[in-house]
Every structure is written in structure tokens, then in C-alpha cells.
Chain A
Amino acid sequence: KQEVTQIPAALSVPEGENLVLNCSFTDSAIYNLQWFRQDPGKGLTSLLLIQSSQREQTSGRLNASLDKSSGRSTLYIAASQPGDSATYLCAVTGGGNKLTFGTGTQLKVEL
């Protein structure tokens, strides 16, 4: 059974700081990994999708890497802003097209 863990569970940083969110998964047989953000009371917004054959994806201030063999992904956020405050979730798609979510990292960027 696939298990996805995110560390840290919560993070508070001052504005402007670069930060790294971690995601680890137990079964490396995945098709892809996706990072999302969720604002309170809202649905999920897709940030980045990394296919299993890829090592990283970039979008603006966000960079996500994938090391499938070690079961790890990181989401790097550059020059953090208060608007980045949200819960960040990683999710892996494995066999049977099954999606497994991580436990989430609650990020707060303070002025």
C-alpha cells in the first residue's frame, strides 16, 4: 500500500525567504507526482505535474524535483510571499490509476 508523507507538517517563514517542502512515498512504481495548494475552504489548485520519466518541473517561483528511485520529491518556493500561505499537498499516481495524497504541509508566510 502506497504511503505518502510530507515534512514538515507546518512551516512559518518571513516574507522573502526561500523554502523547501518535502514529500516521500514508499512505492516507487508511480506514473506521476503532482503538487497542489489548497486555500482554506477551497478546492485544490494544481501547481506542478512531474511525469515518472522527468526529474523536475518549474513554474515561475516554483520548482519541483522528483527522485523516483529514492521515493522523494521536493517543492522549492523562491522569494516567498504572504500570498503563498496555504496548505501544500503532494500526490502520487500509482498502479490502477490510484492517487494517494500526502499528509500536507501548512505554510504561513509572514510580513
Chain B
Amino acid sequence: GAVVSQHPSWVICKSGTSVKIECRSLDFQATTMFWYRQFPKQSLMLMATSNEGSKATYEQGVEKDKFLINHASLTLSTLTVTSAHPEDSSFYICSARDYTGELFFGEGSRLTVL
């Protein structure tokens, strides 16, 4: 199946700093990528839909100024958590669809804000 790579897999940062997470589709082009957040023992919560060449579509309750999404190319989307605080600590996962509609996920990025 298709491969989606996410980097970094884990990051620890100080409160107030910004963290960027990258999501790449390695062997297919993805006009749309998705960003999720997952709390322990809970299912994935869709944060936003990243559209190549245009602004991301955010889900209700997700602060777009807090979670900046950029989808500059057909294979790369980035999520930047700005001025991170301990409550932003979570597991962030990205996904992308291939031409069949099948969805592939990255390995996730665990963010810990001290």
C-alpha cells in the first residue's frame, strides 16, 4: 500500500515555543491531507483538512491561529503548533488519500510540552 511518512515521531519542547510536524506522501500525490489529534485511549479527532494550494479547513473548536497548516505541494503538509502549552501535549496523526479513495496514515507524532 501507499506510504505516508510523518516527522518527527516524537518531540519535547518548552512551553511557549512552536513545533512543526511534517507529513509526506512518499509514493503518491495527495491533494488533500488530514490532521488528527488523539488523546490516550480515545479515537482520532479530526482537526483540519489540508488542501494543496489553498487554506486549510478547520473543524469546529480548533483554533486556526494555534494550529497552522500549510500544504505547499502535492506530497507535503505541515502542522505547526504555535506557542505550545502543556495542554497541547498529544499524539498528532496525519493521513492522505490515494486516487482510489483509500486513506493512509502516518506513524504519528507525540508532542510533549513541558
Contacts from A to B (Cβ < 8 Å): 31-32, 34, 36, 41-46, 49, 51, 89, 91, 93, 97-99, 101-104
* Docked pose: A103 CA to B107 CA in angstroms: 20
Q: Which residues of B contact A (CB under 8 A)?
A: 1, 4, 6, 32, 34, 43-44, 46, 49, 91, 93, 95, 100-108, 110
Q: Is the CB of B107 within 8 A of A43?
A: yes
A41-B110, A43-B105, A46-B105 given; name 6 further pairs at CB < 8 Å. A43-B107, A51-B101, A97-B32, A99-B34, A99-B46, A104-B43
| Sampled A-B contacts (29; CB under 8 Å) | A32-B101, A32-B102, A36-B105, A41-B91, A41-B108, A41-B110, A42-B107, A43-B93, A43-B107, A44-B44, A44-B93, A44-B95, A44-B105, A45-B105, A46-B1, A46-B102, A46-B103, A49-B101, A89-B43, A91-B103, A93-B101, A93-B103, A97-B49, A98-B46, A99-B46, A99-B103, A101-B43, A101-B44, A103-B43
Q: Which residues of A contact B108 (CB under 8 A)?
A: 41-43
